[in-house]
Amino acid sequence: FLDPSIADPGLKESLEKRPLFAILVVHDELIDATQAGHDSLAGSYAQRAKDLKGRDEREMPAGDYVDKDDPAALPSTTASRASLPPFVGERHEIWLVDGRSWEVVERHPLRDGEKVNAMSMVKLEPNKASKCSDYERSAKTYLAVGTGITSIAGEDVLSTGRLALFEISDPKSRQGESDVALGPALPPPKPTGGGGDPMAVDGVDADTEAEKAAKEKQKEKEKSQWMRVTVEKSFHSTITAVSQLGRNPAHLALCTSPSDHFANAQLQVFDIQFDEETTAGVSTTKRTLEQLGFFDDPLMYVVSMQVLKNFICLGDIRNSMHFVNWREADNSLQLLARDRSRCDVMASGIMLDDGGGGVTVGMLVSDDLGNLRVMQYRPDLSQGKTLNRAADFHLGTPASTIIPVKSKRALIRTASHFGSLDGSAGVIVPTDK
């Protein structure tokens, strides 16, 4: 749900009038096995068929022996029959849906083999070192999407990841504002002239005209779009969690899985930086993510991340919960406490109790055995940076999601709703005892 309370002032009014939802949709599609990659079995068949096509076009010498058991020596028609059939794969798309009529407003398909692991609505602004206009320096609303990219060439190819920031903006508010652009400027066009391309007509390259037409078509399409990828960054590993960290200033926190560069999973904090570049006389704005800090002690695979101001709760698939503090003064992440008992975290959440003389913070942890634990950071009760276990519940089924909801009733404070894998749902509320 695109929450209006998180959105920037220019988008808040539009979302209040028209509620929007960003939905992840997964559907099956047929993938051509011959395009699987050069390292796979299908890739070798494709290469053999390509080599064989040249053999059929030229005359073979007399007396040349042809091995019928060798697929590369058979005619191309036979080799095409020996190629692998298409297989079923997944295609991930992000749909923008109108909350009033459930009409699909936009569809944003992702890349081949790219799967969404985390998605969160954030509001960020460029850091102080950015060189940009006053409009670009203001806070913008983004849909942060963390993905994992698996190659169809096989398991021998390492998986990578990508962080894509979809800038959200009401297209009606941009009409008539020629100086306001959604996202980065388009790359400068290639220099034209009759001496470069032999297909040039009247001194203009043919491919340049096609590129201009494609750019004009893309511009017209972007005028009616709510979302567009304006910032992205590739990683050597998949992204498993993403969230906004802090408010003033606000940063982007994300978790990555282990890779060939790092043995442990990592928690990383980034800022957005804008830089002006001039290429061939055309000024453009380059948007990049600058790393501020990281934390990796010891994490295997973070499945859940909850943020409360400058405090981060990490739920690891094997190492339970970690409670980390972000220090703005020196841009560092400090481990405050963790759960010493190992459990496989399925979901986590933060429960606030603002009754009875002060705010009490509790961390909810759901494991694969159907238990729901309430953890607290109490340095006065525990030693050695250990989280204190305040309560245990056995649900009988693993809770897959936990959502805190502040109640309007006076007798019930902050309630945490959870949904489990067998379709059941429940609510947990704090008490005075």
Q: What is the mean pLDDT of residues 252-270?
A: 92
pLDDT for res 356: 62
pLDDT band at 357 (very low <50, low <70, confident <90, very high): low
Q: What is the mean pLDDT of residues 92-97?
A: 94
On the question of pLDDT at 155 being above 80, the answer is: no
Q: What percent of the chain has pLDDT over 70?
A: 76
- Kindly provide the residue ranges of all beta strands, DSSP E only, lying in 153-226, ordered along the sequence: 160-168
The rounded distance, in Å, linking the Cα atoms of 386 and 341 is 10
Q: Strands 251-256, 239-245: parallel, antiparallel or unpaired by DSSP?
A: antiparallel
- For 10-45, how does the pLDDT look when each residue is reduced to its tens digit (9 = 90+)? 899 899 999 999 999 999 888 776 665 544 444 444
pLDDT band at 355 (very low <50, low <70, confident <90, very high): low
Across 91-95, 405-409, 411-415, the highest mean pLDDT is recorded for 91-95
Q: What is the mean pLDDT of residues 292-316?
A: 91
Residue type, 323: F
This prediction has a pTM of 0.78
Which segment of 33-37, 131-135, 192-196, 210-214 scores lowest on mean pLDDT? 192-196
Contact 245, 305 (CB under 8 A): no
DSSP letter assigned to residue 291: E
The rounded distance, in Å, linking the Cα atoms of 232 and 388 is 39
User: Tokens 């959604």 appear where?
Assistant: 182
On the question of pLDDT at 336 being above 60, the answer is: yes
The rounded distance, in Å, linking the Cα atoms of 313 and 322 is 6
Mean pLDDT, the chain, rounded, equals 79
pLDDT band at 141 (very low <50, low <70, confident <90, very high): very high
